């Protein structure tokens, strides 16, 4: 994932671009760069590291110009270094490209372009785009350089494959930016006498909240005075901007030390906002009538990473309340496995961004198999929501932290609500049970507001264990996916090794990795599986583990002789407790 931004307007573009890149750092931060059109010449400044490094370099170089593009990178092809940072140029140095995504056929194209005399300066897939545009310009039709550029870019799009969104600037067409989208996000901000191109809205939200979400295959032409949208055949399309109601403050850190912490604290609100709209009858949302809903035979949940863990919890919810068999697949696996074409299948894609290529690819496959498709997604008008038959939106606001927190708990909340609606529609739970269970669900945000207060207890305990090289997380049943999520979060944020296990499995091998002091975090609320979890603690302790119980008041009392430390959470009920337990692990 990378972040791109472009500005064209009456003012110096540099501050807009640098500021926009800072807002996009959550998309990647190993290097960054800008290209500014200054008096007919492109001035490019790039730096390894965070955008702050680029800012310092830009202050020294001091480029000025009313049109420019910028990029913040998370390396996928070629190591993080200045040569591999974007923007990338062609041989003439007059075309610059910033790109987010992966050009799958870049090696073949690179060979072909090299044989035609193009000289490559980086190891990236992106650079082929710049050279391909240069090559295609040689034969592009058009009365003006602008028309020729558009045609060359269209031809280029026909030659590259993969997921990409990119911005192009050509020194021969001053004050003109082109944006292209295919399976990676691209949005346009419509301002007054200025327009913006970006991977995401926070990059320009300070300046405009009028946003155009590009569809796959579309191209946007930006000048200071306007924006033109072209479909994949090159025909002009009417602009249908959306007004975004997130204010800049919502998109920023809100006074917390870092975005992840802010987003952990956003969770009570995110759950409340998500439930506000969940009242909508899921049957209507799916465009199915009760008879069709009753005919549902199975559910496939498809997702990646943290969203996959939400899907694993969702399986327990749907099977429990609706009695419908559920399979949960990693999207990257679903795409390649043989999925039987079973009638009465509902495929659910869970994704915060709605732009994860594997999830989109997998849900497309489900559609091809004739399944009804539902997205549980956080981003309005994202690709996934346009592919699926229906969308249930989690309402978390923008997720800036790379590590997903509030999106996860909102996904769990949505899946719980969906399971209740499916259960009612299938006749698996009565109207009365539905009402009382839904009422319980509505209290979740209050429990969450108490749960986030454990920060200081957790900080205290982490001081004791943070130097450990390896961590274990154990859970059972509906808390097993939470153990997986705890391990993922720890790996992602601390770069330490961590593994999550179903507590009943440790005796089948994993216990051998426990040594003296191995921090072992055990999810053990005082519920029906408490006794089993207690014996898992004793087994681990016998091997020398330092056991930290994530539990409830009652659990802490019962476990006091079997664990080393306790983190005490409020108790929301057996099936809702995972939503609170994960907060301790975040």
Contacts to ligand F6R by CB under 6 A: 304-307, 351-353, 356, 359, 403-404, 488, 492
**212 upstream amide cis, omega within 30 of 0:** no
Q: How far is the C-alpha of 570 from the C-alpha of 534, rounded, in Å?
A: 19
Cβ atoms of 416 and 576 within 8 Å: the answer is yes
- Closer by beta carbon to ligand F6R, 89 or else 306: 306
Query: Residue 183 CB, nearest distance to ligand F6R (Å)?
Result: 13
Q: Are 401 and 259 in contact (CB under 8 A)?
A: yes
Radius of gyration for the chain, computed over Cα atoms and rounded to the nearest angstrom: 26
Tokens of 199: 């991977």
Q: Please state the closest distance from residue 478 (CB atom) to ligand F6R, in A.
A: 19
Nearest CB to ligand F6R, comparing residues 31 and 353: 353
d(CA 214, CA 210): 13
Query: Which residue lies nearer to ligand F6R by CB, 203 or 403?
Result: 403
What burial letters (b/e) apply to 21-57, b meaning 16+ CB within 10 Å?
Answer: bbbbbbbbbbbbbbbbbbeeebbbbbbbebbeebbeb
CB of 356 to ligand F6R, least distance (A): 3
User: 210-227 burial by CB neighbour count: b if 16+ within 10 A, else e?
Assistant: bbbbbebebbbbbbbeeb
What is the closest distance, in whole angstroms, from the C-beta atom of residue 505 to ligand F6R in the complex?
22
Q: Name the residue nearer to ligand F6R (CB basis): 251 or 403.
A: 403
Q: Which is nearer to ligand F6R, 251 or 488 (CB)?
A: 488
Give whichever of 54 and 264 is closer to ligand F6R, judged by the CB atom: 264
Q: Rounded to an integer, what distance in angstroms lies between the CA atom of residue 46 and that of residue 114?
A: 24
Q: How far is the CB of 276 from ligand F6R (least distance, A)?
A: 21
How far is Cα 498 from Cα 520, in angstroms, rounded to an integer? Answer: 10
Nearest approach in angstroms of CB 382 to ligand F6R is 9
DSSP per-residue codes, 397-432: ----SSS-SHHHHHHHHHHHHHHHHHHHHTTSS-HH
Pairing type for strands 210-213 and 242-243 reads antiparallel
Residue 309 token pair: 């863990």
Q: Which is nearer to ligand F6R, 274 or 351 (CB)?
A: 351
Q: How far is the CB of 278 from ligand F6R (least distance, A)?
A: 18
Q: Which single residue brings its beta carbon nearest to ligand F6R?
A: 305
Question: Cα(231)–Cα(218) distance, rounded to whole angstroms?
Answer: 5
Q: Provide the pairing of β-strand 177-182 with 219-222.
A: antiparallel
> Minimum CB separation from ligand F6R for residue 378, in Å?
8
* Cβ closest to ligand F6R, residue 102 vs residue 442: 102
Instruction: Determine contact, residues 37/224, Cβ cutoff 8 Å.
Output: no
Cα dist from 335 to 34, 309, 332, 360, 369, whole Å: 37, 18, 6, 10, 12
256 or 434, CB closer to ligand F6R?
256
Q: What is the nearest approach in angstroms of ligand F6R to the Cβ of residue 556?
A: 28
Q: Which is nearer to ligand F6R, 386 or 426 (CB)?
A: 386
| H-run or E-run covering 202 | none
Cβ 160 to ligand F6R shortest distance, Å: 23
- β-pair type (546-551, 519-523): parallel
What gap in Å lies between CA 260 and CA 12, rounded to an integer? Answer: 32
8 Å CB contact between 96 and 69:
yes
Shortest approach of ligand F6R to residue 427 CB, angstroms? 32
Residue closer to ligand F6R, measured from CB, 488 or 536: 488
The CA distance from 264 to 252, in Å, is 14
- Tell me whether residue 27 or residue 86 sits nearer to ligand F6R (CB atom): 27
DSSP label of 574: T
Nearest distance from residue 385's CB to ligand F6R, in Å?
12
Q: How does DSSP classify residue 534?
A: H
């Amino acid at each position: 994932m990378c972040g791109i931004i472009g500005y064209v307007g009456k003012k110096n573009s540099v501050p807009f671009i640098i500021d926009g890149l800072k807002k996009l750092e959550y998309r990647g931060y190993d290097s960054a760069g800008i290209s500014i059109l200054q008096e007919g010449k492109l001035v490019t400044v790039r730096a390894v590291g965070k955008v702050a490094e680029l800012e310092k370099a830009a202050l020294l170089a001091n480029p000025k110009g009313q049109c420019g593009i910028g990029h913040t990178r998370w390396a996928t092809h070629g190591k993080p270094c200045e040569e591999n940072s974007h923007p990338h140029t062609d041989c003439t140095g007059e075309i610059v490209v910033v790109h987010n995504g992966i050009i799958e056929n870049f090696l073949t194209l690179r060979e072909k372009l090299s044989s035609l005399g193009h000289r490559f300066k980086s190891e990236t897939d992106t650079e082929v785009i710049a050279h391909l545009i240069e090559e295609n310009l040689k034969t592009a039709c058009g009365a003006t350089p602008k028309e020729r550029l558009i045609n060359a870019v269209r031809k280029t799009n026909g030659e590259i494959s993969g997921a990409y969104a990119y911005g192009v600037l050509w020194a021969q067409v001053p004050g003109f930016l082109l944006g292209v989208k295919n399976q990676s996000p691209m949005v346009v901000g419509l301002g007054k006498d200025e327009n913006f191109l970006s991977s995401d809205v926070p990059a320009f939200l300070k300046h405009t909240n009028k946003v155009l979400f590009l569809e796959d295959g579309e191209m946007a032409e930006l000048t200071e005075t306007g924006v033109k949208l072209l479909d994949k055949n090159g025909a002009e399309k009417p602009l249908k901007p959306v007004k975004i109601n997130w204010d800049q403050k919502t998109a920023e850190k809100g006074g917390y030390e870092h975005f992840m912490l802010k987003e952990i604290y956003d969770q009570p609100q995110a759950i409340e906002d998500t439930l506000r709209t969940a009242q909508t009858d899921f049957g209507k949302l799916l465009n199915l009538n009760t008879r069709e809903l009753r005919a549902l035979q199975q559910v496939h949940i498809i997702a990646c990473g943290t969203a996959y863990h939400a899907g694993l919890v969702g399986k327990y919810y749907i099977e429990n309340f609706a009695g419908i068999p559920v399979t949960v697949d990693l999207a990257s696996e679903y795409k390649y496995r043989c999925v039987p074409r079973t009638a009465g299948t509902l495929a659910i894609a869970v994704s915060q961004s709605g732009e994860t290529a594997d999830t989109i690819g997998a849900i497309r496959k489900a559609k091809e198999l004739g399944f009804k498709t539902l997205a549980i997604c956080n981003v309005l008008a994202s690709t996934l929501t346009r592919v699926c038959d229906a969308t249930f939106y989690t309402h978390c606001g923008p997720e800036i932290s790379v590590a997903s927190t509030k999106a996860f708990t909102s996904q769990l909340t949505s899946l719980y609500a969906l399971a209740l609606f499916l259960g009612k529609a299938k006749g698996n739970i009565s109207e009365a049970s539905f009402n009382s269970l839904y009422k319980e669900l509505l209290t979740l945000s209050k429990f969450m507001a108490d749960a986030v207060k454990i920060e200081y207890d957790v900080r205290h305990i982490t001081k004791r264990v943070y130097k450990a090289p390896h961590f274990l997380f154990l859970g059972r049943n509906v808390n097993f996916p939470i153990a997986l999520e705890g391990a993922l979060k720890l790996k992602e944020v601390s770069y330490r090794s961590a593994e999550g296990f179903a507590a009943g499995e440790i005796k089948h091998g994993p216990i051998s990795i426990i040594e003296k002091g191995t921090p072992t975090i055990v999810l053990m609320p005082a519920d029906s599986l408490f006794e089993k979890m207690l014996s898992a603690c004793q087994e681990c302790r016998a091997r020398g583990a330092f056991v930290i119980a994530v539990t409830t008041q009652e659990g802490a009392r019962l476990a006091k002789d079997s664990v080393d430390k306790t983190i005490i959470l409020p108790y929301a009920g057996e099936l809702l407790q995972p939503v609170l337990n994960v907060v301790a692990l975040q």
